[in-house]
Structure 1
Amino acid sequence: MKWNLITYLALGIIVTLALAAYSSAPEERSEIQTSENMQKRQEIQMESYPAAEGEALSQGARTNKKSSGPLEGQPLSVTEASTSIIKALQEKDMETVASWASEDGVRFSPFANIDPVNDLVFSPDEISNLLSDPTRYVWRTTPDLDDDKIKMTYADYHLKYVYNKDFIHDGEDAVNVLLGQDAHPGNLHEIYPEANHDFVEFHIKGTDAEGRDWHTLRLVFEKIGQDHILVGIVHDQGIP
C-alpha cells in the first residue's frame, strides 16, 4: 500500500509539472501577437506604403492632368487669337488689338471689296490711340462722287464699320469659311492669299423677311510659322 501511494504521488507530481510546462509555452509563443508587436509590424508596413502611394498619385496626376490652355511660350491658334481680338473690339480695348497687329500695320476695309491703295492702314502704336484720335479720316470714297465719302473719326467708324453689332453674343463664327447665304469674299483672297493667310468670319444673320440685313466682320491674319498676326479688319453687310 505504501508503494502504491508513493507511486500515485509521484505520478501526480509528474502530471502537474507537465501541465505547467505545456501551459507556459503558449504564453511565450503568443508574446509576438501582443498589440505592441502588431503595431510595430503595421508601422513597418506603413513605412513603405506612402512612398508607393505617393508615386502612384504623382503618376496619376501626370497621366490625368488636362491642359487648361496653351502652354506658356507656345503660339495661340487663329481661333484663340480671333477670340481675344473680337472681345477687345467689343470692349473698345484698342491696346489689346494693337498687341496683335502686324508691325506693317492693319488695313481697315468698310466693305468686302478691299481697296489696297486707299483703305487706311494703321501701325500698332496708332491703333492704341485710335479711339481718342479726333481726326476725321476718309475711310472710303468713290472717285467720281466726292460726296460719297466715308469721313469720320475712328470712334464713329468703329461703331458703324467694325463692332457695329454684337458679334460675340448674336453671331456665329468660322475659320476660313464664308457664313450666310449671301456672303461673298469680294477680293479677299487676292489681297490676302490663302497660302499664307487665315481669316475668321463673324456673322449675324438678317432679321428682315428675306434676311438681307446681315452683318459680317472678318479678321484677317498673316501666318508666320505657327504664329498669327492681324493684318486686316474687313466689314461687310447686306442691303435690306
Structure 2
Amino acid sequence: MLFSGSCTQKKTDLPSQELTVNSVSEDTTSTLKPFPEAENKNVISLSIQILNLLQKEQYDEFIGFIHPEKGMRFSMYAHVDPQKNKVFSREDFQKYINSNIRFTFGEKDGTGEKYVISLGKYIQEWVLKRDFSKAELLHNTFKGEGNSLNNLKEMYPNSEFTEFYISGTEQYGGMDWNALRLVFEKFEGKYYLVAIINDQWTI
C-alpha cells in the first residue's frame, strides 16, 4: 500500500511495517509543515492502522480504537449533524457489525433518498467507497472542499484529525474527488476515534 505524503518525512519517521505500509512518498514541494510533535505522528500511524483494519474487516481489533465514553459517529458528508448521524458505542458496534439489522445513516445528496443499510455494508460500501490506501494523507488539514458545510472543527474543537484525499479526474472536471476523515480525541492520554466523516462534491 502506498500513501502519497503531504509532508517531507525521513525514513526513520515512517510508520511501522506492521501497518503494511511500504513507504510514504516524499514531497519536497508541499506547503504543509512537517509534524514536529511525536503525538501528531502517532495520529498519522493510527489512521493508517485503522484504515488497514477496516479494509480487511478486522473489526475485533478495530473496536479498541473507538472512544470508550463518547463512542464513534458516522457522517455521510462533511456536515456533522448530531440529530441525524449514527453514533455507536463499542458495545453497539460489536453487536451490530456482523448483523443484518439496517440503520438510516442519512440522506443521499441530490435525491434526498434515505440511506438505509447494515453497519458492515455501510463501512464497506460508503466509508470505503474508494481505495483510500492510495490516497494523499493530511493532518489537521482539509484538501477536499465542496459546497457542503464543513463543521468538523466546530463540532470537535479539541480534536486531531486526518484526511485521506483522492483527487478528482480530468474527465469529470475534478469534481469526483473523495475524502475520508478520521477524528480523534484524547482520553486518559491516548487517542481514540470519535468520528468517521466522508466528504465529496455535493449538489
* Structure 1 residue aligned with 2:98: 132
CA deviation digits over 1:81-139, x for unaligned, max 9? 11110111111111222111112210011111111122111111332354311111011
Shift of residue 238 of structure 1?
2.1
Aligned length: 166
- Could you say which structure has the larger radius of gyration? 1
Shift of residue 148 of structure 1?
2.1
* Structure 1 residue aligned with 2:166: 204
For 2:97, what is the secondary structure of its paired residue? Answer: helix
TM-score by length of 1: 0.61
**Which of 154, 157, 166 is the equivalent residue of 1:190?**
154
Shift of residue 202 of structure 1?
0.4
* Structure 1 residue aligned with 2:140: 176
Letter in 1 for 2:178: H
C-alpha root-mean-square deviation of aligned residues, in Å?
2.9
Letter in 1 for 2:60: E
TM-score by length of 2: 0.71
Structure holding more helix per residue: 1
Q: Does 1:222 align with 2:185?
A: yes
Shift of residue 223 of structure 1?
2.5
* Structure 1 residue aligned with 2:86: 120
For 1:77, what is the secondary structure of its paired residue? Answer: helix
Structure holding more strand per residue: 2
* Structure 1 residue aligned with 2:61: 96
Contact 2:79 2:148 in 1 (8 A): no
Contact 2:73 2:88 in 1 (8 A): yes
Q: Which runs of 4+ in 1 moved over 6 A?
A: 66-70
Q: Does 1:84 align with 2:46?
A: no
Aligned-partner Cα distance in 2 for 1:82–1:183: 26
Shift of residue 159 of structure 1?
2.6
* Structure 1 residue aligned with 2:23: none
Aligned-partner Cα distance in 2 for 1:182–1:137: 26
Unpaired stretches in structure 1, ≥5 consecutive residues: 1-65
Letter in 2 for 1:93: Q
The percentage of counterpart residues that share the same residue type is: 31
Q: Which has the higher contact order (CA 8 A, sep 6+)?
A: 2
Shift of residue 205 of structure 1?
0.8
Unpaired stretches in structure 2, ≥5 consecutive residues: 1-11, 17-37
